[in-house]
Structure 1
Amino acid sequence: MARAERRQQLVHEAVEELGSQGYACASMADVAARAGVSKAMVHNVFGSKADLAQACLEEVGPRLVATIAQAQTATDPGERALDTFTAIFSAMAEHRYAWALVKDETLPEGSAAAELAQGYRAQLHSMGTVGTRDVLEAAGLADPLDHDLLDHIWESIVEAAVAWWQEHDDHTAEQMAQRLTRLLAVVTLRG
């Protein structure tokens, strides 16, 4: 296998390993085992676990951010939320644990991987904040505490939905977005 192909294979397996186990609990040996290669091969291609994590984040972070950013075009807040849900799950179709890797707080402090993850988290948070502000404005609500609370609720919903989806890999991105939208509609119905 060519070096570039081997590198891509290792990144693919490492995203799943690092994302599912967390940086602190994953090992180069576990990545090697997933890829069917030796631990020495993984070290030869990437050097260190931090370098491997950086390569993984460079693979999944830009796609995750760009896909979600493209979904922010709808003017209707409800449609925009559905588009955002679909984008989140679609962006993770190839790497189901991309979100977990970007959100991993155990990446080594001060490393390039931790800095990349922090940058992606900041971009995702910023898009979420704009979206929740727009939802509140459409409803005629301007209380900053409402916005702060809705930001927290939104992030919690996304985190919970992503975690649930990782355990139910038979659902497509579109099915997850529809399920989440349906459930949120039920929760917000007024009697």
Structure 2
Amino acid sequence: METQQAPTTGRKRMPRAERERQILAVAEQVFAADGYQGTSMDDIAARVGLSKPMLYEYFGSKEGLLLACLQRAKRELLEATTVAAAGAATPEQLLHDCLLAFFKFSDDHAQAWALLRNESAVPSSSVSSELESIRMQQMEFTSGLMSAARPDLDPVQLEAFAEAIIGACERLALWRDRRPEITAEQATGHLMALFAPSLTPAP
């Protein structure tokens, strides 16, 4: 007797990691467009094709979803600047390529950097801590690069230089909000004119 296989119905279940990536991509777009306060979990759930309870099951809350977006941006920023650093042949190219990677990345992740420049938009200690951890990550990364380029500098000087570079990047990102015609390449050129002399040890 021949047996018949029951037909399959419905969509194939998406693996959790892939679903999380999809949610974070959509959430970042919505946060960027509507701001944190104006973002609705209903809207994000509808765009992803999930129920709102399922969205809460993944991230717990709207703040939890924002934190996950920031944590992803933190990882990807370090990856982008690390890749840029790996291809540099000189200290000047190293600084140039890492600055350019930062500005291009900030263009692609507008919400994360808008929050970095205006932390009062989200009155949350968890979000503030995550934003500061992004700064500290990049400060330590920059300090390590400076150490390779300027082994004559002591640890305090390296930390000061790195803090100055990270602070300047944030301020230029804010300036570019007011001057949208300034490209990532132009912003990089301005900072290179300021910081490139510091790559040459004093005689």
TM-score under structure 1 length normalisation: 0.66
Aligned equivalents of 1:118, 1:186: Cα separation in 2: 28
- CA distance in 2: counterparts of 1:55 and 1:65, whole angstroms: 16
The residue number in structure 2 matching 1:11 is 28
For 1:68 and 1:61, the matched residues in 2 are separated by: 11
- Asked if the contact 1:60/1:95 (under 8 Å) is kept, the reply is yes
8 A Cα contact 2:85 2:94, kept in partner: yes
Q: 1:185 to 1:123 in 2, by over 3 A?
A: closer
Any unmatched runs of 5+ in structure 2? 1-18, 46-51
Cα offset, 1:66, TM superposition: 0.8
TM-fit CA distance, 1:126? 1.7
Residue of structure 2 aligned with 1:89, choices 98, 103, 121: 103
User: Could you say if the C-alpha distance between residues 118 and 129 of structure 1 is closer, same or farther in structure 2, counting changes exceeding 3 Å?
Assistant: same
Alignment of 1:1-191 (within 5 A): 8-15=25-32, 26-27=36-37, 30-32=38-40, 40-42=42-44, 44=52, 45-46=55-56, 48-73=61-86, 74-101=88-115, 104=119, 108-109=124-125, 111=126, 117=131, 119-137=133-151, 141-184=152-195
Unaligned runs of 5+ in 1: 19-25, 33-38
Deviations 1:2-25 (CA, angstroms, capped at 9, x unpaired): xx778643321214655xxxxxxx
Cα distance, 1:107–1:127 mapped onto 2, change above 3 Å: farther
RMSD of equivalent CA atoms: 3.6
Q: CA offset at residue 184 of structure 1?
A: 4.3
Question: Alpha-carbon deviation of 1:71?
Answer: 1.5
Cα distance in 1 for residues equivalent to 2:66 and 2:162: 28
Greater CA drift, 4-13 or 46-55: 4-13
Paired with 1:107 and 1:76, the residues of 2 have a C-alpha distance of: 42
CA distance in 1, matches of 2:195, 2:161: 13
Q: Distance in 1 between matches of 2:128 and 2:174?
A: 21
Secondary structure of residue in 2 paired with 1:169: coil
Please say if residues 82 and 181 of structure 1, whose CA atoms lie closer than 8 Å, have aligned partners that are also in contact.
Answer: yes
Aligned-residue offset at 1:64: 1.4
Q: Measure how far apart 1:119 and its partner are.
A: 4.9
Contact 1:71 1:84 in 2 (8 A): yes
Instruction: Report the residue type matching 1:132 in the other structure.
Output: M
Q: Read off the aligned partner of 1:14 and give its amino acid letter.
A: F
Aligned residue pairs, count? 166
Q: Kindly name which structure, 1 or 2, has the bigger radius of gyration based on alpha carbons.
A: 2
* Normalised TM-score (structure 2): 0.62
1:50, 1:82 → 2: CA distance?
A: 35
